[in-house]
Chain A
């Protein structure tokens, strides 16, 4: 195998593996929208007191 063959193989596989690892890391670390959404804060405006 020539050095150019090694280079092209390593670069091709390296790019693909890096992209996949990056993507799966982001997917597994980012929660879905409903998983990080919370109910609105209960703010007491004291309207009833007046």
Chain B
């Protein structure tokens, strides 16, 4: 090994544990699908589709799936397995193996910051789902909207008030309101569950959990779906509000005054559809990359990737698309389903749906099933957000699982405490979601596609994909990966930035000094995370060179092999 002679601590540094692998093919598929299926499938997609042309939305949606979702998914599976075969499970290592350059590892750092940063607020939202499920089981949820009587609008307002108080949207400092808040208690419970599962490891923790959780999620969602589709016309005095019209509200093409083709030519529609595909499949998060690195060198990536994608699509289109908006239509009526309500995950999920379950026969049971299902969807996603950083700590610094879990636990606890403390208008959550959960994801996905299409090369990628493949990737996909996906991503990202970033800056400018302070503090926190992970990646890279996991860095323009040879000679 290069560098071993001048590295007296090498035996300690290079101590390697047996490599972790997935226990079964179905296990990895369900774990990846679990990572992809989240709240967005059940709350974001239906609202987005209903407000963006209804059924018309599905045309750009499926085109984006073909041009963006599936190709990037295969790219992530392929480079993940490629890195894994070279002994790397973390994105900085995988990127270094893929593109031997001084800068590649720093792009990989993005794939650590994204899941860790998202976890910090996602775990809090996950805690809300569990708390709501518990409130239905214990019977307290119905009390929150009891004063509203039969008035639907008043009921939604009552549940809005409850949500606002529950998450501390009124003012900052939910943690120190004087007593231990319910949201904080559930956050602690969910935090512990996540870390216990992640501590158990890949096979005994993530895989074992997802193998039970994903089928359970599907069963729970199907129970609610059957209930919704058999509701008929719940209010006999208003027969026009029935399941048929509720499905129509979601799926009928809404062209407005313009024709079908003119509505389809709307760029906003394409932006929304491709954005949804992108976030729904969890591409660009760095998670699939990490999960695929635990595959064996000859394990299939094509069929597995497609199966995980199809599972996600089933949950989104067939379950989310047939449940959320139709049921809200049946019990709240079209007048209460404004663009503001449908366009906001929190508004639809945590303010409107409780008012729906309050009116549904056996609503407490279905409310509990629904929110527990959302909790399962969220926890299978949050678990996947922890694994990339755990893998990095383990392989970058030779840490044991206990130490790496402890370090990550401390780091994410700091972030989550910030999110909980700065609870006013959920500004901390919103800031992390905008900059890490959106901007960074776009950047990482673009880097990945360009890296594979143009640096690693489509030819090598094709050979890599073929190994062990249970399906053949159609030739056209290589053209898509090289030309169409990067262009499409850059155009979408450019258009998204043009539309959102100036608006975001104006929004911050118009805020009160306290709110602006919160946003700036969270931005500073993101900056600290970037520097912190950048430094860690730099240190890990030095260690990998020292123990010979990576060849010595190219000096004075020498190719890697020659530099490695020179390093050996120097040693």
| Given A26-B470, A27-B26, A1-B247 contact (CB < 8 Å) | yes
What distance in Å separates the Cβ of B331 from its nearest Cβ neighbour in chain A?
18
State which of A23, A28, A30 has its C-beta within 8 Å of the C-beta of B310: A23
**B248 at the binding interface (Cβ < 8 Å):** yes
- Check B307 against A23 for contact (C-beta < 8 Å): yes
What distance in Å separates the Cβ of B434 from its nearest Cβ neighbour in chain A?
30
**B171 at the binding interface (Cβ < 8 Å):** no
What distance in Å separates the Cβ of B478 from its nearest Cβ neighbour in chain A?
21
- Check A30 against B303 for contact (C-beta < 8 Å): yes
What distance in Å separates the Cβ of A28 from its nearest Cβ neighbour in chain B?
8
- Check A9 against B307 for contact (C-beta < 8 Å): no
- Check B311 against A20 for contact (C-beta < 8 Å): yes
- Check A2 against B252 for contact (C-beta < 8 Å): yes
B297 nearest CB neighbor, chain A only: A33
- Check A4 against B470 for contact (C-beta < 8 Å): no
- Check A16 against B317 for contact (C-beta < 8 Å): yes
When distances are taken between beta carbons in the complex, the residues of chain B under 8 Å from A24 are 307
Contact with A along B315-346 (1 / 0, CB 8 A): 00110011000000000000000000000000
A8–B322 Cα distance when bound, in Å, is: 13
Residue count of chain A within 8 Å CB distance of chain B:
25
A20 nearest CB neighbor, chain B only: B310
Contact with B along A7-24 (1 / 0, CB 8 A): 111011101110110011
**B471 at the binding interface (Cβ < 8 Å):** yes
**A32 at the binding interface (Cβ < 8 Å):** yes
| Given A5-B251, A8-B251, A27-B307, A17-B318 contact (CB < 8 Å) | yes
A13–B299 Cα distance when bound, in Å, is: 30
Contact with B along A27-50 (1 / 0, CB 8 A): 110101110000000000000000
B318 nearest CB neighbor, chain A only: A13
When distances are taken between beta carbons in the complex, the residues of chain B under 8 Å from A32 are 24-25, 299
A24–B321 Cα distance when bound, in Å, is: 22
When distances are taken between beta carbons in the complex, the residues of chain B under 8 Å from A33 are 296, 298-299, 468
Interface of B is mostly: helix
- B residues 243-263 in Cβ contact with A at 8 Å: 244-245, 247-248, 250-253
Stretch at the interface among B54-62, B91-99, B389-397, B481-489: B54-62
- Check A2 against B248 for contact (C-beta < 8 Å): yes
A41–B373 Cα distance when bound, in Å, is: 51
- B residues 57-97 in Cβ contact with A at 8 Å: 58, 62
Contact with A along B25-56 (1 / 0, CB 8 A): 11001000000000000000000000000111
A10–B256 Cα distance when bound, in Å, is: 22
- Check B471 against A16 for contact (C-beta < 8 Å): no
State which of B56, B58, B252, B471 has its C-beta within 8 Å of the C-beta of A26: B471
- Check B310 against A8 for contact (C-beta < 8 Å): no
- Check A17 against B314 for contact (C-beta < 8 Å): yes
| Given A9-B55, A20-B314, A26-B470, A4-B253 contact (CB < 8 Å) | yes
What distance in Å separates the Cβ of B501 from its nearest Cβ neighbour in chain A?
32
What distance in Å separates the Cβ of A5 from its nearest Cβ neighbour in chain B?
4
A43–B234 Cα distance when bound, in Å, is: 75
A27–B288 Cα distance when bound, in Å, is: 18
What distance in Å separates the Cβ of A3 from its nearest Cβ neighbour in chain B?
10
**B306 at the binding interface (Cβ < 8 Å):** yes
What distance in Å separates the Cβ of B403 from its nearest Cβ neighbour in chain A?
33
- B residues 294-314 in Cβ contact with A at 8 Å: 296, 298-300, 303-304, 306-307, 310-311, 313-314
A42–B394 Cα distance when bound, in Å, is: 43
| Given A27-B29, A33-B298, A9-B247 contact (CB < 8 Å) | yes
- Check B298 against A16 for contact (C-beta < 8 Å): no
- Check B252 against A1 for contact (C-beta < 8 Å): yes
- Check B248 against A8 for contact (C-beta < 8 Å): no
- Check A5 against B247 for contact (C-beta < 8 Å): yes
B260 nearest CB neighbor, chain A only: A4
What distance in Å separates the Cβ of A10 from its nearest Cβ neighbour in chain B?
9
What distance in Å separates the Cβ of B468 from its nearest Cβ neighbour in chain A?
6
| Given A8-B55, A26-B471, A20-B313 contact (CB < 8 Å) | yes
| Given A16-B314, A17-B314, A33-B296, A5-B54 contact (CB < 8 Å) | yes
In the A-B complex, the 10 residue pairs with the smallest Cβ-Cβ separation, listed nearest first, are: A8-B55, A1-B248, A5-B252, A23-B307, A20-B310, A9-B251, A5-B251, A19-B310, A33-B298, A16-B313
List 14 contacting pairs A-B, 8 Å CB cutoff, sorted by A.
Answer: A2-B252, A4-B252, A5-B54, A7-B55, A8-B253, A9-B247, A16-B317, A17-B314, A19-B306, A24-B307, A26-B471, A27-B307, A32-B25, A33-B296
